[in-house]
Amino acid sequence: EAGVAQSPRYKIIEKRQSVAFWCNPISGHATLYWYQQILGQGPKLLIQFQNNGVVDDSQLPKDRFSAERLKGVDSTLKIQPAKLEDSAMYLCASSPPPRTNRAYGYTFGSGTRLTVV
Amino acid sequence: QKEVEQNSGPLSVPEGAIASLNCTYSDRVSQSFFWYRQYSGKSPELIMSIYSNGDKEDGRFTAQLNKASQYVSLLIRDSQPSDSATYLCAVKGNYGQNFVFGPGTRLSVLP
């Protein structure tokens, strides 16, 4: 099966500019996640979608970050305006919903490396 | 605040040795446990999942879970230089909760 698609792979922007990332999950995966991974740290959840609804966005900096998942398939994450501390890898992941209390592991896309200068 | 802790490393082992990676978690009701491997500049890839106490083996990898001690580990037998990467531990609680990732342990396998 095709994996999680993300674009672009790399992006360099100046602070205060805006940037958008795109993700297309594995076909049939209802759950989509956006993670931020700062160098040397583990991934941190930004937002979780179930179909086209938001399940958890408690760690999303809503003053500058926004995300949408129209039609319950692909998703876009936007940062406006960007700050230097937003430099990180942005990872999209998807998973099928768990049938029991045991979760399936995520499948991550290749990620977008963002550098804010 | 749910926490997952790992030694950041680097953990250095000679080629052919057993590498032992450890992870502790704070949420006692955690149900699902995962190990991911992440090469430098790449995204994480799932290598093992474990749900019940005890050992689970998959090729050269063995995951061990002890829920009473809130401890999960990953053993890599016959370590190869290609195993050199950061290993992330991820823990999930009850239904509807998200994964919490540890900071990762960097493993270096020396030829």
Q: pLDDT of B25-75, one tens digit each? A: 998 888 889 999 999 999 999 999 999 999 999 999 999 999 999 999 999
pLDDT score, position B30: 84
Q: With an 8 Å Cβ cutoff, are A56 and B101 in contact?
A: no
Put simply, whether B45 touches A (Cβ < 8 Å) is yes
Answer whether A92's CB lies under 8 Å from A105's CB. no
Report pLDDT for A84. 98
Nearest to B81 by CA among B11, B10, B14, B21: B14
Write the burial class of residue B67 (CB in 10 Å: 0-12 exposed, 13-18 middle, 19+ buried). Answer: middle
Largest CA distance in chain B: 43
> Across the interface, do A42 and B95 touch by the CB < 8 Å criterion?
no
Mean pLDDT of chain B: 93
pLDDT in single tens digits along all 117 residues of chain A: 679 999 999 999 999 999 999 999 999 888 899 999 999 999 999 999 988 899 999 999 999 999 999 888 999 999 999 999 999 999 999 988 666 656 778 889 999 999 999
Contacts of A98 in chain B (CB under 8 A): 95
The DSSP symbol for A103 reads P
CB spacing of B101 vs A55 below 8 angstroms: no
Q: Decide: B60 and B77 in contact? Cβ < 8 Å.
A: yes
When pLDDT is cut at 50, 70 and 90, the band that residue B80 belongs to is very high
With an 8 Å Cβ cutoff, is B88 touching chain A? yes
Find chain B residues with C-beta within 8 A of A106's C-beta. Answer: 46, 90, 99
User: How would you classify the pairing of strands A19-24 and A5-7?
Assistant: antiparallel
Q: What percent of chain B has pLDDT over 70?
A: 95
CA angle, A42 as apex, A9 and A39 as ends, to 5°?
A: 55
Residue A96: its pLDDT value, please? 80
